[in-house]
Structure 1
Amino acid sequence: MPRTGKPLYLVFGTGSPKGLEAMKDAMWSVDDRDGESFHDPRTRGAEPEGQLDIVQAVGLADPELLELVAQRLAAGTATVVEIGEWLLRETSRWMPKHALKAVREMRQAGAVSLQSPGKLTSKSHVRLTA
Protein backbone atom coordinates (compact mmCIF):
# COMPACT_ATOMS: atom_id res chain seq x y z
CA MET A 1 0.00 0.00 0.00
CA PRO A 2 1.72 3.19 -1.11
CA ARG A 3 1.35 6.47 0.80
CA THR A 4 -1.36 7.60 -1.63
CA GLY A 5 -3.73 5.14 0.03
CA LYS A 6 -4.67 3.53 -3.27
CA PRO A 7 -3.74 -0.16 -3.10
CA LEU A 8 -1.43 -1.68 -5.65
CA TYR A 9 -1.92 -5.35 -6.48
CA LEU A 10 0.97 -7.73 -6.86
CA VAL A 11 0.23 -10.71 -9.08
CA PHE A 12 2.54 -13.69 -9.13
CA GLY A 13 1.95 -17.19 -10.43
CA THR A 14 3.91 -20.41 -10.10
CA GLY A 15 3.38 -24.11 -9.58
CA SER A 16 6.53 -24.41 -7.53
CA PRO A 17 6.57 -24.07 -3.73
CA LYS A 18 10.25 -23.02 -3.98
CA GLY A 19 9.32 -20.29 -6.48
CA LEU A 20 6.58 -19.08 -4.16
CA GLU A 21 9.00 -19.03 -1.23
CA ALA A 22 11.52 -17.05 -3.32
CA MET A 23 8.81 -14.51 -4.19
CA LYS A 24 7.82 -14.08 -0.56
CA ASP A 25 11.47 -13.72 0.45
CA ALA A 26 11.70 -10.87 -2.06
CA MET A 27 8.55 -9.27 -0.62
CA TRP A 28 10.00 -9.43 2.91
CA SER A 29 13.11 -7.61 1.74
CA VAL A 30 11.03 -4.55 0.74
CA ASP A 31 11.71 -1.56 2.98
CA ASP A 32 8.61 -1.05 5.17
CA ARG A 33 9.80 2.45 6.09
CA ASP A 34 8.98 3.71 2.60
CA GLY A 35 5.29 3.67 3.44
CA GLU A 36 4.59 0.40 1.70
CA SER A 37 3.23 -2.75 3.24
CA PHE A 38 1.78 -6.07 2.20
CA HIS A 39 -1.33 -7.38 3.88
CA ASP A 40 -3.76 -10.21 3.33
CA PRO A 41 -7.24 -9.05 2.25
CA ARG A 42 -8.84 -11.87 4.30
CA THR A 43 -7.71 -10.35 7.59
CA ARG A 44 -10.81 -9.17 9.40
CA GLY A 45 -9.95 -8.66 13.07
CA ALA A 46 -6.40 -7.34 13.05
CA GLU A 47 -5.25 -3.89 12.06
CA PRO A 48 -1.50 -4.02 11.44
CA GLU A 49 -1.30 -0.38 10.31
CA GLY A 50 0.45 1.68 12.94
CA GLN A 51 1.23 -1.38 15.05
CA LEU A 52 3.90 -3.02 12.92
CA ASP A 53 6.92 -1.17 14.34
CA ILE A 54 5.80 -1.63 17.96
CA VAL A 55 4.98 -5.30 17.40
CA GLN A 56 8.36 -5.95 15.79
CA ALA A 57 10.23 -3.99 18.47
CA VAL A 58 8.94 -6.21 21.29
CA GLY A 59 9.26 -9.40 19.25
CA LEU A 60 5.56 -10.26 19.07
CA ALA A 61 3.91 -11.93 16.11
CA ASP A 62 2.02 -9.62 13.76
CA PRO A 63 -1.74 -9.41 14.51
CA GLU A 64 -2.50 -10.31 10.88
CA LEU A 65 -0.44 -13.50 11.18
CA LEU A 66 -2.20 -14.49 14.40
CA GLU A 67 -5.61 -13.98 12.87
CA LEU A 68 -4.78 -15.95 9.74
CA VAL A 69 -3.43 -18.88 11.80
CA ALA A 70 -6.66 -18.79 13.82
CA GLN A 71 -8.65 -18.88 10.57
CA ARG A 72 -6.67 -21.94 9.45
CA LEU A 73 -7.20 -23.70 12.78
CA ALA A 74 -10.94 -22.94 12.64
CA ALA A 75 -10.98 -25.48 9.79
CA GLY A 76 -9.51 -28.14 12.09
CA THR A 77 -6.49 -29.40 13.95
CA ALA A 78 -3.14 -29.13 12.16
CA THR A 79 0.53 -29.64 12.88
CA VAL A 80 2.82 -26.63 13.00
CA VAL A 81 4.37 -27.88 9.72
CA GLU A 82 0.92 -28.02 8.09
CA ILE A 83 0.16 -24.51 9.31
CA GLY A 84 3.47 -23.33 7.82
CA GLU A 85 2.70 -24.97 4.47
CA TRP A 86 -0.73 -23.34 4.51
CA LEU A 87 0.83 -19.95 5.27
CA LEU A 88 3.12 -20.37 2.26
CA ARG A 89 0.40 -21.46 -0.17
CA GLU A 90 -2.67 -19.60 1.00
CA THR A 91 -1.60 -16.24 2.41
CA SER A 92 -0.28 -13.19 0.66
CA ARG A 93 3.01 -12.81 2.53
CA TRP A 94 3.49 -15.27 5.39
CA MET A 95 6.00 -18.13 5.23
CA PRO A 96 6.47 -21.48 6.99
CA LYS A 97 9.05 -20.00 9.35
CA HIS A 98 6.34 -17.78 10.88
CA ALA A 99 4.10 -20.66 11.99
CA LEU A 100 5.99 -21.72 15.12
CA LYS A 101 6.26 -18.17 16.49
CA ALA A 102 2.55 -17.56 15.92
CA VAL A 103 1.49 -20.84 17.52
CA ARG A 104 3.82 -20.29 20.49
CA GLU A 105 2.33 -16.85 21.13
CA MET A 106 -1.24 -18.12 20.68
CA ARG A 107 -0.54 -20.97 23.11
CA GLN A 108 0.79 -18.53 25.74
CA ALA A 109 -2.36 -16.45 25.29
CA GLY A 110 -4.56 -19.54 25.71
CA ALA A 111 -5.98 -19.29 22.20
CA VAL A 112 -4.67 -22.71 21.11
CA SER A 113 -3.79 -25.97 22.80
CA LEU A 114 -1.75 -29.02 21.83
CA GLN A 115 -3.39 -32.42 21.37
CA SER A 116 -0.55 -33.98 23.34
CA PRO A 117 0.78 -31.97 26.26
CA GLY A 118 4.45 -31.17 26.30
CA LYS A 119 6.97 -29.22 24.32
CA LEU A 120 5.79 -27.35 21.22
CA THR A 121 7.57 -28.68 18.13
CA SER A 122 7.00 -28.53 14.40
CA LYS A 123 5.20 -31.91 14.63
CA SER A 124 2.83 -30.83 17.41
CA HIS A 125 -0.87 -31.04 16.62
CA VAL A 126 -2.52 -27.71 17.41
CA ARG A 127 -6.18 -26.80 17.81
CA LEU A 128 -8.14 -23.72 18.81
CA THR A 129 -9.31 -23.71 22.41
CA ALA A 130 -13.03 -23.76 22.99
Structure 2
Amino acid sequence: MTLEHATIRIARPTDDLDALLPFYRDGLGFSVLYEFRDHDDFDGVMLGHPGAPYHMEFTTAHGHAAGRAPTEDNLLVFYLPEADRFAAAVERMRAAGFSPVKAFNAYWDAKGVTFEDPDGYRVVLQNTSWGA
Protein backbone atom coordinates (compact mmCIF):
# COMPACT_ATOMS: atom_id res chain seq x y z
CA MET A 1 0.00 0.00 0.00
CA THR A 2 1.25 3.47 -0.85
CA LEU A 3 0.20 6.91 0.24
CA GLU A 4 -0.06 8.13 -3.35
CA HIS A 5 -3.77 8.95 -3.16
CA ALA A 6 -4.01 9.81 0.53
CA THR A 7 -5.62 12.92 1.89
CA ILE A 8 -3.28 14.89 4.11
CA ARG A 9 -4.20 16.82 7.23
CA ILE A 10 -1.58 19.15 8.63
CA ALA A 11 -2.40 19.52 12.31
CA ARG A 12 -0.79 21.75 14.86
CA PRO A 13 -1.63 23.39 18.15
CA THR A 14 -2.13 27.07 18.79
CA ASP A 15 -2.85 29.24 21.77
CA ASP A 16 -5.28 31.47 19.87
CA LEU A 17 -7.59 30.08 17.19
CA ASP A 18 -9.26 33.44 16.71
CA ALA A 19 -5.93 35.10 15.86
CA LEU A 20 -5.11 32.46 13.22
CA LEU A 21 -8.41 32.60 11.37
CA PRO A 22 -7.84 35.95 9.60
CA PHE A 23 -4.43 34.78 8.34
CA TYR A 24 -5.56 31.46 6.85
CA ARG A 25 -9.18 32.29 5.98
CA ASP A 26 -9.02 35.94 4.91
CA GLY A 27 -5.40 36.18 3.83
CA LEU A 28 -4.84 32.80 2.18
CA GLY A 29 -8.47 32.30 1.19
CA PHE A 30 -9.14 28.96 2.87
CA SER A 31 -12.66 27.97 3.83
CA VAL A 32 -13.65 26.85 7.29
CA LEU A 33 -14.49 23.18 6.69
CA TYR A 34 -15.33 22.23 10.26
CA GLU A 35 -15.15 23.68 13.76
CA PHE A 36 -15.51 22.11 17.16
CA ARG A 37 -15.58 23.38 20.74
CA ASP A 38 -14.86 21.55 23.99
CA HIS A 39 -14.34 18.12 22.41
CA ASP A 40 -12.45 16.26 25.16
CA ASP A 41 -10.98 19.61 26.27
CA PHE A 42 -9.98 20.67 22.76
CA ASP A 43 -11.28 23.42 20.49
CA GLY A 44 -10.39 23.32 16.82
CA VAL A 45 -10.93 24.44 13.28
CA MET A 46 -10.20 22.74 9.95
CA LEU A 47 -9.42 24.95 6.98
CA GLY A 48 -8.99 24.10 3.33
CA HIS A 49 -10.84 23.99 0.05
CA PRO A 50 -13.87 21.70 -0.30
CA GLY A 51 -12.83 18.61 -2.25
CA ALA A 52 -9.09 19.31 -2.06
CA PRO A 53 -6.95 16.37 -0.84
CA TYR A 54 -5.43 18.43 1.97
CA HIS A 55 -6.54 20.59 4.84
CA MET A 56 -5.13 22.17 7.96
CA GLU A 57 -6.34 21.66 11.49
CA PHE A 58 -5.53 24.00 14.33
CA THR A 59 -6.38 22.99 17.88
CA THR A 60 -6.24 24.51 21.32
CA ALA A 61 -6.00 22.20 24.33
CA HIS A 62 -7.64 23.67 27.41
CA GLY A 63 -5.02 24.30 30.07
CA HIS A 64 -2.05 23.64 27.75
CA ALA A 65 0.25 26.26 26.22
CA ALA A 66 1.33 25.52 22.64
CA GLY A 67 3.82 28.36 22.30
CA ARG A 68 5.32 29.82 19.14
CA ALA A 69 7.01 28.17 16.18
CA PRO A 70 10.37 26.69 17.19
CA THR A 71 12.26 28.33 14.28
CA GLU A 72 11.74 30.79 11.43
CA ASP A 73 12.21 27.92 8.98
CA ASN A 74 8.96 26.07 9.77
CA LEU A 75 7.21 26.54 6.42
CA LEU A 76 4.17 25.72 4.38
CA VAL A 77 5.01 26.40 0.73
CA PHE A 78 2.37 26.99 -1.93
CA TYR A 79 3.64 26.88 -5.52
CA LEU A 80 1.80 29.36 -7.74
CA PRO A 81 3.54 29.28 -11.14
CA GLU A 82 1.06 31.59 -12.90
CA ALA A 83 2.18 35.20 -12.39
CA ASP A 84 -1.38 36.53 -12.09
CA ARG A 85 -2.42 33.94 -9.47
CA PHE A 86 0.78 34.58 -7.52
CA ALA A 87 0.28 38.38 -7.59
CA ALA A 88 -3.37 37.99 -6.55
CA ALA A 89 -2.42 35.74 -3.62
CA VAL A 90 0.22 38.19 -2.39
CA GLU A 91 -2.20 41.10 -2.75
CA ARG A 92 -4.91 39.18 -0.85
CA MET A 93 -2.50 38.70 2.07
CA ARG A 94 -1.56 42.38 2.06
CA ALA A 95 -5.22 43.46 1.80
CA ALA A 96 -6.00 41.27 4.82
CA GLY A 97 -3.37 43.23 6.76
CA PHE A 98 -0.37 40.89 6.57
CA SER A 99 3.05 42.16 5.53
CA PRO A 100 5.80 40.01 4.06
CA VAL A 101 8.78 39.03 6.19
CA LYS A 102 12.33 38.26 5.11
CA ALA A 103 12.73 34.52 4.65
CA PHE A 104 15.17 32.73 6.96
CA ASN A 105 16.52 30.90 3.88
CA ALA A 106 17.20 33.45 1.11
CA TYR A 107 16.17 30.83 -1.48
CA TRP A 108 12.52 31.61 -0.78
CA ASP A 109 12.97 35.35 -1.37
CA ALA A 110 14.28 34.85 -4.93
CA LYS A 111 10.89 33.87 -6.39
CA GLY A 112 8.56 34.00 -3.45
CA VAL A 113 7.06 36.02 -0.65
CA THR A 114 6.99 34.83 2.95
CA PHE A 115 4.35 35.70 5.54
CA GLU A 116 4.35 34.84 9.24
CA ASP A 117 1.19 33.76 11.03
CA PRO A 118 0.38 34.94 14.58
CA ASP A 119 2.09 31.85 16.04
CA GLY A 120 5.35 32.49 14.18
CA TYR A 121 4.87 29.74 11.57
CA ARG A 122 5.57 30.85 8.03
CA VAL A 123 3.84 30.46 4.70
CA VAL A 124 5.69 30.98 1.43
CA LEU A 125 3.85 31.92 -1.74
CA GLN A 126 6.31 30.71 -4.38
CA ASN A 127 6.05 31.94 -7.97
CA THR A 128 7.40 28.74 -9.56
CA SER A 129 6.28 25.21 -10.25
CA TRP A 130 7.27 22.55 -7.79
CA GLY A 131 10.50 20.95 -8.86
CA ALA A 132 11.61 24.04 -10.82
Q: TM-score range by the shorter chain?
A: under 0.3
**Structure with higher RCO (Cα < 8 A, 6+ apart):** 2
* Bigger fraction of residues in helix: 1
Give the strand-richer structure, 1 or 2: 2
TM-score (norm 2): 0.27
The TM-score, its normalising length taken from structure 1, stands at 0.27
